[in-house]
Amino acid sequence: MIDLTADRQAQLAYSYERFAQAKVFVFRKWCEQAAERGALVPADLSGSCKYGSLFMSQIFGGIICGHYQHQYNIIGGRIVDLSHDALDVGGLRNPYLHEPEFFAIPEKQLSLNACLPRVELWVIQFLEEVKGQ
């Protein structure tokens, strides 16, 4: 099983502009995923933190951090969270608590790894979009 919380090399340099592009892209994909499941179109990135943090780590490098309620990225020594303004994150008392032992739980590792095929496709599509600009 791949250690998805290890420090990764960036495919693109992180910037606020790239963050904004990534956020729009992941929200679009999150809406598409909801439609595939027959769910209502989401209002924000609530519930997407596994996908968002995996995506960000593959694009911009860094590490995945978090706890049982939320996960986010540390890139270049700073907290980076695609869903920072989502309703579910706003309702957390301490969204940026980091419990590394949580990521060692086999079920958590399986859950993250199960998201990878979709995230890897998103990464390819995002890089194509960015290169096409």
pLDDT tens for 7-31 read 778 889 999 999 999 999 999 999 9
b/e map of 65-91 (b: 16 or more CB within 10 Å)? bbbeebbbbbbeeeebbbbeebebbee
Model pLDDT, residue 71: 97
Stated pTM of the model: 0.93
- Say what the pLDDT of residue 1 is: 56
Whole-number pLDDT of residue 116: 94
pLDDT in tens, 53-109: 999 999 999 999 999 999 999 999 999 999 999 999 999 999 999 999 999 999 999
Q: Parse the chain into domains and list their residue ranges.
A: 16-125
